[in-house]
Structure formats: C-alpha cells, structure tokens
Amino acid sequence: MTDYNHIHPEFQPVAHLSAQERIDFLYQNRWVGYPVAQKLIDLLRLLMTLPTQTRMRNLLVVGDSNNGKTTIIKRFESLHGKGFVNPDGEAVKPVIVIESPPKADERSLYCAILEKFWTPYRATDVVARLRYQVIHQMRDCHVRLLIIDELHSMLTGTARQQQEMMNVIKLLCNELGISVIGVGTEDAVRVLHTDAQHASRFEVFPLRNWEKGIDFQRFLKGFESVLPLREPSGIFQPHLTGLLHGISEGNTGNLHTLLVECAKEAISSGKERIDADIIQSKSWVKPTRGIRNLI
C-alpha cells in the first residue's frame, strides 16, 4: 500500500478513497496556517487576556476582499472563543463575533450582539433599553473581546451616523473594559478617520496579498500536504509558483479556489497531480474587478 508521504499524515487515509469521495473532501473547510495568520491569532489572544485598563487596545484588521480575514477570525474563535461554565457555575463567552449591520445603525448593532446570547430580546425596544441589555449580558458572560466583521459596511451611512456608531463602539469598550476588533477592507480605515480620537484608539493590522517568494512557496507546500492527490505535484516549485501567483494575484481566497479546482481536475482526469497544463486551464479563477469569469 502506498504511503503517500507528500500528504500530511492526518489526511493520508483520504488518498485511498474513491475519486468522488476525494473531490467531496476538497470542498470541506480545512485550515492551512501561515506566519501572518498565526501572528494575528497570537495578537488577538493577547488582547483577549490583557487586564482591564482605562484605555483598552483596539485593532482594525484590513485587507482585500476574499483575502482570508474572516477565515482567520473563525480559526481564532474555534481555538480561543468557545463558551464554557466557570467554577462558579457562570456561563462564559470570552469572544463575541458579529457581522457589522449593513448600514450605520445603533439598534441593528445591539441586535446583532444580542443574537449571540441565549436570551430573549425585542428588536422594537427603545435603543437605550437594548444598550442596557447588551452591556448587562456581555458583563454577565465575561466577554473579553468583541469582533465586528465587515466593518466597512458602516460606510453606507451618513457621516453623522458613522460618528454615532464609532461612539457606540467606544462606549462598549470603556463600559465593559474590553478590546474591540474591527475587520474589513481598506475602506474601513475611513470610518476611523472621521475622528482623530477614534483613530488613535485602533492599531491597524494589514493582511496583504502574497508576494512571490519563500513565504509563498512554503504556504503552497503546506497547501499541497492537505490535497488528497496520489502523486506529488510540487506546486511550490518556481515554475508552478509563478503560474499560481499570476492567476490568483496573490489573493489567499482566489488561490484557495484555484488549487481546489486544479486538484479536482487532477483527480477527475486521472493525472493525480497538478501540473502547468491544469493550472493554465483554470485561468478563469482570476478575478476581474471583483467578478470571476465563468468561461
């Protein structure tokens, strides 16, 4: 029986499955770590464990659309954000992750937070009551980190509404003594710049697209180790690295889609490895102004 040493030991048994089972496996969520992602996870962990201070550190994570921001946040949540019951019998939810409301609206923000708790609420209540319920609930559950994904969505409101939302975030941060993490595209920086005081409260952590180099090759090597192909592809070799980078433009999400489609073709065709011909045949993965060309 073949050992499939080019595949991570955890996934080597998958290589013995049928073609369709291996293709189904490709579309399952799977974490492939890399240094910048780990650095962000470590930083979030630090912010979560900091003692309460007068001015808590906040963070804004920015990067292109589909560049892995939400995936990293979900990874962090799975590692460090699971709820539990402490020795005093109290329910603890150390991390709350919400998606920003589609527009700058204080009521919608409170409702999005309350949805993360097992408690009834009425969205039609006056804003002050919802605010009180959010603060009370987060304090009771010992929340240490509030993560707001898609923060740039708040840009759809007026300048006054944006200012009000940032004031709400500041209030929650001060009242609860917690760090707030915003996640979004570069446009999210504009929200902070509505007020110098708000901007000074947030450090910016950029998630940039990959550049061709050793780090990109290492990431590709790690990715290859979770693909259930029966032959090694060597996608981290320079001649294939250039093709993959050119099509994906160094965008992590685009690269993931490209490699999954290439692996599917390698299995379906019986090649069992990704080569230059397969990569070039999947050039439709390359985005055009945010929209993929579907042949």
pTM of structure:
0.91
Longest CA–CA span in the chain (Å) reads 67
Q: What is the pLDDT of residues 88-139, one digit of tens each?
A: 999 999 999 999 998 889 999 999 999 999 889 999 999 999 999 999 999 9
Question: From CA 223, how far away is CA 109, in angstroms rounded?
Answer: 37
Residues constituting the chain:
295
* Contact of 92 with 142, CB cutoff 8 Å: yes
Q: Which residues contact 19 (CB under 8 A, 6 or more apart)?
A: 267, 268
Q: How many CA atoms lie within 13 A of 116 on its CB side?
A: 24
β-strand partners of 84: 92
What is the tens place of the pLDDT at every residue in 141-189?
999 999 999 998 887 778 888 888 889 999 999 999 999 999 999 888 8
Q: Rounded to an integer, what distance in angstroms lies between the CA atom of residue 194 and that of residue 293? A: 37
Give the angle subtended at the CA of 146 by the CAs of 86 and 190, to the nearest 5°.
170
* Distance of alpha carbon 73 from alpha carbon 201, whole angstroms: 20
- Report CA-CA distances (Å) from 178 to 123, 154, 172: 24, 21, 8
Domain boundaries, the chain: 10-33+211-292, 50-207
Residues with Cβ within 8 Å of 131's Cβ and at least 6 positions away in sequence, in order, are 106, 110, 168, 171
pLDDT in tens, 45-90: 999 999 988 889 999 999 999 999 999 999 999 999 999 999 999 9
pLDDT digit string (tens) for 192-224? 777 777 778 899 999 999 999 999 999 999 999
Per-residue CA distances from 34 to 117, 174, 204, 224 (Å)? 32, 33, 19, 13
Name the DSSP class of 285: G
Architecture per CATH, domain 50-207, reads as 3-Layer(aba) Sandwich (3.40)
Cβ atoms of residues 135 and 84 within 8 Å: no
pLDDT value of position 232: 96
Residue that the structure tokens 């500041």 belong to: 170
Instruction: Look at residues 193, 187, 209, 188 and name the one whose alpha carbon lies nearest to residue 254.
Output: 209
Please report the pLDDT score of residue 124 as a whole number.
Answer: 95
Task: For residue 245, report the phi and psi dihedrals to the nearest 5 degrees.
Answer: -70, -40
In tens, the pLDDT along 18-35 reads 999 999 999 999 999 999
Helix (H) or strand (E) holding 258: helix 252-269
The DSSP output letter for 102 is S
Measure the CA–CA gap between 15 and 7, rounded to whole angstroms: 9
Tokens of 273: 């490895």
**Tokens describing residue 235:** 């996608």
> Which residue's entry shows tokens 């009425």?
122
- Reported confidence tier of residue 246, pLDDT bands at 50, 70, 90: very high
For 294, residues 6+ apart whose C-beta sits below 8 A from its C-beta are: 284
Residue 285 exposure: Cα atoms within 13 Å on the Cβ side? 27
Token pair recorded at residue 109: 């923000």
